[in-house]
Amino acid sequence: MPYIRYFGGRPPSSIAEHVTYEDPNAPCKRGLAELMANGRRFAEETCHEPTEKANALEGYLNSNPYPGLEHVGGIGLVQAALRPIDEEITAIEYQRVRGEVLNANREYRERSACELAKNNNPQRRASSEHESLGWRTRVWITSFTEMDHHVAYALGRKSFAYMRVRDPHPSGLTAQLFDIYHPSDGGAEQALLEGLDYAELLVDLLALSGYGAAGIGRVLGTTVPYCRMEEEFQLATYGASIFNTPIPVSPDQFGKELTESGRLALRHLRDGLSASIPTLAFSAFWNLLERQAEEEARLGKLRRMVKCQTCGAEREEGWNLKSGFEAMYTNAGIDPSLFNRHRSRRGSIQHGAKAPTTSYLNEVFQDLAQIQVAAVVAAAKEAGIMPGTATYLSAIWPIAMFSCRAKKDRSVDIQFERVSVRAGAGTVPQRIAGNAERAVQIGMEMPAKIDPLSLPPIQE
């Protein structure tokens, strides 16, 4: 295999021991991104089959030069024939150029790390206009995007996000610390919930912009945009927690050969009990019940009656899934009349009638306990496994409130105020549950672990 060096930013497809410039702004890559985009547009407009598109793209790239072709892009070994932009070199020349490229890459990494360290500054402040909105919610977000440091990104007319710290990872996902400035009609507790809504919107936008996964890594808290010496301010965080004691499981509880229906019911149940937000839990439990409703209707011989629009005669047509739902509700000790409300709620969740804002999730949470119990009873019947206890307490928005005061030595005195948890107990009928007693605790560990990054900058 001959040693080669190539020009521009596109290496040969058969290259081995490849060493190339890592800097995306290296001279060899100038104009390449635009050329690739134009080439793909050309291929999409002129061809239909994937192979034809690939050939058309390659032909376009080979016939349209770009500024980067004036510079060496990298070196390596190839087995295939050389391209016009490749040049065979000696082993000595290969080692010399390889050293130059590796040195350039090391300098680029050091320069990038230095630049990143200089720009990463969690103490930077927003414009006075954005600080006047009243509140700052600080969150870590992971995505396949990179935002500019300390520049306002509008999330609407009354909310703006500033990226303060960037932490790249080898996977390509980047963790970024954002300050979201926004108003609120309530105090810090309400502002935290509203700030989370804006954070979710930011994540939605980043998922689309980065064409990939995005999520909230951690909500550090909500405070005023800045504080002054010896002036009290509030800090709202998600530091509270809910604790359900574990349930012992004996070997004789397992061993039944589950049907595909039973396995699917268990999977939906696990998704619901493990969901991070009420809408996801509701959807999982509903999917379980919907899957089991036909079987309940079949066992109860509950047929659906339809009326002919022409003559008015009634006839049977399929199984009555609503009656199947109502039978499962009755078996779980749930009022069957709740079905219509739950079905309406399911429609708004699964068909996109409302975005999952904190206020809407609170509404969903009010209905979650009933549908959760119905799903647990249905799954227990299908799988032949009883829950070990009758009670499970789920919670949302476990908010902890603190009173803070910046002292003259720039330390911050933090005093715990209260915990606020929206909790709902799912109570399975005793005939379905085991004998274990579950203890439930709501609160937070003291002394509280407050992330210093959650505190606002101090104005002198």
Residue with tokens 């936008």: 205
- The pLDDT value given to residue 311: 67
The 10 Å CB-count burial string (b at 16+, else e) for 200-228 is bbbbebbbeebeeebebbbbbbbbbbbbe
Closest-CA residue to 69 (of 58, 80, 83) = 83
- The pLDDT value given to residue 321: 76
Render pLDDT for 77-95 as a digit per residue (tens, 0 to 9): 998 888 888 999 999 999 9
Q: How many CA atoms lie within 13 A of 120 on its CB side?
A: 15
- The pLDDT value given to residue 305: 58
Judged by DSSP in three states, 87 sits in strand
Compute CA distances 86 → 11, 55, 70, 71, whole Å.
Answer: 9, 20, 12, 12
DSSP state of 393: E
Q: What is the pTM of this model?
A: 0.82
CATH topology of domain 128-224: Alpha-Beta Plaits (3.30.70)
24's tokens? 């995306």
Q: How many CA atoms lie within 13 A of 235 on its CB side?
A: 31
Scanning 148-259, the segments in alpha helix (DSSP H) are 188-209
- The pLDDT value given to residue 228: 92
- Name the stretches of the chain with pLDDT < 70: 255, 300-319, 353
Render pLDDT for 392-431 as a digit per residue (tens, 0 to 9): 888 888 899 999 999 988 889 999 998 888 888 888 888 8
How do beta strands 440-443 and 412-427 pair? unpaired
96's tokens? 């010399």
- The pLDDT value given to residue 444: 79
Render pLDDT for 329-384 as a digit per residue (tens, 0 to 9): 998 899 999 999 999 998 888 887 677 788 888 888 889 999 999 999 999 888 88
- The pLDDT value given to residue 314: 64
Closest-CA residue to 105 (of 196, 19, 15, 36) = 19
Residue 248 CB contacts under 8 Å (≥ 6 apart), including other chains: 388, 436
Residue 311 CB contacts under 8 Å (≥ 6 apart), including other chains: none
